[in-house]
Structure 1
Amino acid sequence: MSFSNKVVLVTGASSGIGAATAILFAKEGANVAIVGRNQTKLTKISEECEKHGKMPLVINADVSKDEEAENIIKQTVEKYGRLDVLVNSAGISKFGSILDGKIVPVYDEVMNTNLRAIINLTTLSAPYLVESKGNVVNISSTGAELVPKVPQFIPYCVSKAALEHFTRGAALELSSSGVRVNVVRPGPVRTDMIENSGFPGTWDTFKAGTALDRVSEPMEIAELVLFLASEKAKGITGSVFTSDNGYLLKN
């Protein structure tokens, strides 16, 4: 799946799925722009990309802030002259429920990053994707499909369910312009999510909840992203691809 001379923008690229995706696109010959909030981690991922391909464009930004989102697209197009693939991997997980009184502020924060920022970046990218007949791949979660049995997960699950619905709407609207939009829905993936979110559990907890008794590695999800972004998936749009080791089968 060569992406030689293609321009790929990956948000949430400082760690986890976003980082693995950026590295894999670089390995396949793409010109990659990587976006994240942690400059130190971005620098490390940039070095990994360069080992496998070309040095990426590094953009230290918060996708939830409109001015920074606009600058992300501006820098990418100014650097490379085009945009072929947008991978929306940036996402956060915060906890708040109705009865603990935290759900509204947590909802606002989570939705700003997990949904609104993606809608905004897709809108800003659309003219360039129409020109290149490119595509968008959004990163969701099995949380989009689950009833949040732990109340504190309600904002996160709602954000991912809404993201998948937005993806279908965007795919329908942009299809007449030759632009595809799809979703990858991972189950448990071994990232720094647990330590970043303060989730009270371990990867063994997630592993026990899968049918295949395993937790995925970020590169597995990255490979699926590359497939959906490639010409091999030219007939696929508005679709949700689940890679969860059978997590939904047991939950």
Structure 2
Amino acid sequence: MQSINPGETDDLSVTFWGTRGTRMVTGDGFTRYGRKTICAEVRCGRRVIVLDAGSGLVPLGSAMMGNGIRAFDLLLTHAHYDHVEGIPFFEPFYDPGFSIGFWSGKLKGIDRTRDIVDGLMKEPYFPIRREKFRAGIRYHDLEDGASIDLGDGIMVYTMRLHHPGGATGYRIEYGGKRFAFITDTAHAPGQRDAALVSFLKDADAFAYDCSYVDEEFPRFASFGHSTWEEAERLRKEAGARHVFGIHHMPFRDDAALDRIAARMERDMANCTVTKDGMQIRL
């Protein structure tokens, strides 16, 4: 998989490098939709924003080493393993030629963004400390509802999500386009989250936590995730154009996701089952 070349377009584009939730998967039944955990690359013209640092971050890092990108921002939704496990193996962190803005919001038990990395990379869990990083990394701590002006006409807006320990949703606006990234979050059956509907208002596209379907949701309601049907309800109420379902659970193999994709094509034409490697331009 190759990332979109810098300078190729002035549009807002998204590449999904990892779409799995909870953990990576292996085996012949998991080939077409992907095996890596959450990571997306957003291009705003020549600028790059990386959303989450699951295992999909690793091949993205390898691509960056050869495509001329040397500066970007990394925004974490939260620090559960499936969203940060790529950090110790991300090549640009060890290269002094890179300049990286590293952002996260408020999380239970975490005072600063840099504490996420320190907690992940320490004995006896990992042999290499953060001090081995050679890139120029600037750590930023986000308040709930913060707005970030990244320059070059790029604005990032945030909101707090409903997930154990906390999580942050992001909306990126550039060139008249809007893309939002909403994972991990839960919903209350029969109720729309008014704040989230407002946050997604008129989005050209958003990625959303589609871990479950409505019929199985009662068994997992306390886990901090949502459903395909809720994604479509949010899309309609917010007037958004398209929703891309992410955070595929480990028990969803290719056959199970094929069945969901067939249902989306039949009943929810503006809702797509996202695959590792999928690229979209808005």
**TM-score, normalised by the number of residues in structure 1:** 0.40
The structure where helix makes up a greater share of residues is 1
- Compute the TM-score of the two structures, normalised by the length of structure 2: 0.37
